[in-house]
Structure 1
Amino acid sequence: MAEQLTNAAEFTVSEIAQAVKRTVEDEFGHVRVRGEISGFRGQHSSGHAYFTLKDDAASIDAVVWKGNYAKLSFKPEEGLEVIATGRLTTFPRSSKYQIVIDNIEPAGAGALMALLEERRKKLLAEGLFARERKRPLPYLPRVIGVITSPTGAVIRDILHRLDDRFPSHVLVWPVRVQGETCAPEVVNAIEGFNALLPDGPIPRPDLLIVARGGGSIEDLWGFNEEAVVRAVAASGIPVISAVGHETDTTLIDYASDMRAPTPTAAAEAAVPVRAELIAYVEDQGSRQRQAARRSLSSLRDRLRAAGAGLPRASDLVATPRQSLDLASSQLSGALRHFVQSRRLAFSSLASAIQPRLVRQRHLERAERVATLSRRAETGLIKTIERARLTFDPGARRLPGAAAQLLERKQSGMARITPRLTAQPIRTDLRHAGQRLDTLVRRGDAAASTGMGSRRTQLDQWGKLLATLSYRNVLARGYALVQDDQGQVVSSAVALRPGDGVRLSFADGEVAATIAGAPPARRKSSRATPTDDESQESLF
């Protein structure tokens, strides 16, 4: 094929780029551009500042060199509408043009910032940003839900930080983090996590993290949408917002329960450090053990001090033991004294309850009862005789009075002497009979009562006699010793060898003769028992 001939000059890419650069700089060597600052992140590490000036139809890159940035009287801020003075130039390596700013003057708030501020004030008036609505985050969530892009560096940073601090179960709901579909997808993710059941196949998260990396206000605009803000405010699960970098602020930061400056900071706020938690638990356990040891040591010292102030156990029982020993030593003497006193008392009563005296008293009582019985019969007879003597004259006068009354009635006498009427006599006789019956009953009752009382008293004396009778004592194995004259022998010194005595037992009597020498006489007429003698008494 024939080579086409042309007279057009050939230029290299660099020549074209440089030509364009000179043309732009010559034509626009000094310009004033009005636009809204977007994508400003502060000074670069080199000291330069890079951002974009834009309006509703176009945008232009801007740069402020390090030397000029320090001289600016008004520093650039994100979202401000400014008038930038500088010159246009190109960047040949990327075929872009940009403005190199020498000075910046404020021109008013940008359109997006004005819309954002208006929406913020509206939602603030509704109370969606109130501090009272914010809930505390769970200290150690079992499940964490993350709403972010699954392909970006944000999710890797969050998972890496969670794994370093406290490995937890993480559920990721993938969404687009910029563009027109960002807001609806974030709303669906928040509502979807809240719709999960606590015990369902997919566990319901205890905490939500809405995360995105940095970007311009246009890139983050989806998180300023009213639907997203309302979904965050209505969430039943606490929400941490981690959208953009530390200098970026969106409306969900105000509605969320906590704002994290970065996604990594959100992961750090979600869970504690496991190693620190273990160290804290171990430290608390160590402190608790030390406190317990100190408490036990203090209680031991207090017990030891209290024990030192208490008397010894032997001292406490010393006095009662001594009293017991004294009482024990006095017990035998007290028993002997008691036996002696009872023996003296019974000896003084023995003379009064001898069988002969008791039989004599019994005979006297029986004779008295018989006498009273005879007197009662005699008195009853006398009473009857007196009544008969009282009523017999009236009875003898009764027939004559009745005949006289009959004669007077026949002779027509109207007046009848009251004393001779039959009716008063009958009345007197009836009263006398009643009185006589009463006296007879009273006599019988008095005789029965007297006889019963005497019989009861006699029975009591008989029982007392039987109780105090020496026969009962003899039935227990004792014997009654009497001399030849029938007198009771109560002392061994009263007998001599060869004396005859009579021993009375419960079932009969036996004659005996005293043998052996008599015992030595003592000062007392009765023997005082020794410690070895039996303390048993006849009574």
Structure 2
Amino acid sequence: MPDPFPSNAPELSVSELSSALKRTIEDRFGFVRVRGEISNFRGQHSSGHAYFSLKDQSARIDAVIWKGVYAKLKTKPQEGLEVVATGKITTYPGKSAYQIVIEALEPAGVGALMALFEERRRKLGAEGLFDEARKRPLPFLPSSIGVVTSPTGAVIRDILHRIAERFPRRVLVWPVRVQGETSAAEVAAAIDGLNALPETGPMRRPDVIIVARGGGSLEDLWSFNEEIVVRAAAQSRTPIIAAIGHETDWTLIDYAADLRAPTPTAAAEKAVPVRAELATTLADLGRRESGAMFRLGERRRADLRALLRALPQGEAIIALPRQRLDHVGARLGAALSKAHDRQRIGLARLSHRLSQQSPHARLARSAERLAGLGGRLGRALDSGREARLRRLAHVGARLAAARSTSRRVETEKLSAARHRIDALARRLSYGVNAGVATRRTTLGALAQLLGSLGYKQVLARGYALVRDADQRPLRLAAEIRDGAALEIEFVDGRRSAIAGPAKDAAPAKPAVKKGRAKRDQGSLF
């Protein structure tokens, strides 16, 4: 059947057509910037790649971010976030679809950044990083101040000038980038580095840290909204003053810091007091203290003079105590005499008791008790010896009677056992002789039976037993090969023979009888 649509166009396979489309699209577009809203984002795939879509009011395009690029992105994809994606347009032949392979991703405008800012603020606030309860007070007069900022901007000069003007302190500057892709990581590393310094030594840990940056747009200040910076500020062991941008600029580190300053200069003012004001205040307090001490002394002297006027004369004060002393002295002599008498009587009583407890008296009483105990011990020994002798004699008599009775019983048992052994010996001798006679009779009968049934009797009737070289009996002529060695046993001995070929003539009748004899002999084996 002829082709209804004749054409000279070459035939292409599906793979060839897909490859041609892929080259055409990649050569035509190359790198593009696409603005759209992220849709169908479910996080990274198990392989580490990210797959989602970019859409607007009337179209959508598939997007993919490879694992290595995803880890380097400053702005991570989020569902519903409007972004500007930079990448290369390519095709995916497996689905006959085109897609964009994203190399860079950034929020699309201030609105998107503010939405991302609010979302992060709610997330980190829910974790408790912005709670007022965890914020710490600043030291009144720090000995060392750490500053995290750019080393070339006007911010560091303003801070150093303001600190030197108010109250010169040791300042440790940790230079970082305050704008760009790596600035967030550098600021977080600076905060962690200052906290990791030792508490003593020439390079010791500062008492307060100022994180500062000059003014700028929301995009310029975005590094201080990154989670890594906020978490580093919240975990800092040293109090932090955040001074980012102008007074109207707010970043997430302002919420996590222990104190927010509207400007970097204000941060320096909050870090240290004014030395001149402190000196004036101290001088004023010193003058007030001196005046108060003088007035207190005057008041105490006036009180003392008033008390002295109210006191009576000295003689009137000591008259009554002196009379009381005389009365007590008289009573003391009588009391001492009575106490002396009581002590002498008590001493006499103790002497009498001590004489009764003297070593000689106690030794005499102990000797009398010892003599009494010795007499009682001798009588007890004599009585015990006599009782043991009586018990020993009684036990000896019982033992002799028991031994005599036991000897008589054992003698009777031995005699009975001897009679039993003699009877058993006679029965054993009779049984052995009877058994031997029975076995001898049986053996004779078996010998006669063997003689009558053995193959020797068959050989005696004129037959012969043929064996091969292995001494096996041969029953059939077919079992013998020509030239085989044979051994023929007769009644009076054995002869060797060599097997020859069979003759044409029929075997003789005796040969048949011989073969039957062989079969009979074989049955005997």
The two structures share one fold, judged by TM-score above 0.5: no
TM-score by length of 2: 0.40
Max radius of gyration: which structure?
1
TM-score by length of 1: 0.39
